[in-house]
Amino acid sequence: MVVVTGASKGIGRRAAAHFLERGDLVHGCARSPSPIEHPAYVHHRLDVADEAAVKTMMSTIRRTHGRIDVLINAAGEASMNHALLTPAETLDALLRTNVIGSFVCAREAARLMRPEARRRDRDIPADAPPAGGRIVNLSSVAVPLKLAGAAAYAAAKAAVESLTQTLARELAPMGITVNAVGPGPVRTRMTRTVPPETIDRLLSAQTVSRLATTDEVVRVIDFLADPAAAMVTGQIIYLGGVSR
């Protein structure tokens, strides 16, 4: 049972499609409708920063499925501009979607990954060891690269990384891993809103100086979401050869 936020486009849409192709049940959410049509897919229209709406979605999942195995926090918002040209409301929007949304969704999903939640599933023996769950957040190479023009966006994604590593410690006793993937520029609708010169600066700072595809990002997400990746937690995996 997989939950994908930001499932109407970009990395989230591709991640949802990937897990459906694997045979998983997928619940996705976004502020806009989803183009995905699949018998194993359920879409919820909501803002991930709306705590009440997220709780309602999770309650629906609890009633229908009893548990969550994987959460992919792919909902995100980007804005790349000089700090002196960035209004406070832009930063507020970035923090709401990237940070508050990731926090609220992770918190509510973790409640349905706990051993007692999973034992309510009739297909899982009561004495089975806790299988835990997998939470994968989305960061960005904008954090380690610290390029001019990315102050607000990098700050929001740095908060996501701190959240990821702290949640990893808090949720480890429940068998839940929490990691983040930090791609560089990806061929999505979101990158079309970023000035070309900013994209060029990001790419020139990468070892692999080209746009990534959503499939390349999802392959890393798939690894972190695998039940066998139980020893990988609190990690930020940057793509494109970028490191701190």
Phi, psi dihedral angles at 162 (to 5 degrees): -65, -40
The arithmetic mean of pLDDT across residues 46-58, rounded, is: 99
Q: What is the pTM of this model?
A: 0.92
**pLDDT tens, residue by residue, 169-197:** 999 999 999 999 999 989 777 677 677 88
CATH H-level, domain 2-238: superfamily: NAD(P)-binding Rossmann-like Domain (3.40.50.720)
Q: Strand 236-238's sheet: what is its strand order?
A: 41-45, 26-30, 2-5, 70-73, 133-138, 176-182, 236-238
pLDDT at 116 over 80: no
Residue 22 or residue 130, greater confidence: 22
Count of C-beta atoms within a 10 Å radius of residue 232: 15
Tokens at residue 150, please? 């990315």
pLDDT at 121 over 90: no
Residue 192 or residue 200, greater confidence: 200
> With bands split at pLDDT 50, 70 and 90, how would you rate the model's confidence at 118?
low
Amino acid of residue 7? A
Q: How far is CA 90 from CA 72, 78, 152, in A?
A: 24, 9, 8
The contacts of residue 40 (CB under 8 Å, 6+ apart) are 20, 23, 24, 25, 26
The arithmetic mean of pLDDT across residues 211-224, rounded, is: 97
Average pLDDT, the chain: 93
**Length of the chain counted residue by residue:** 244
Residue 55 or residue 209, greater confidence: 55
**pLDDT tens, residue by residue, 31-44:** 999 999 999 999 99
pLDDT of residue 182: 97
Q: How far is CA 28 from CA 13, 45, 140, 220, in A?
A: 9, 9, 22, 19
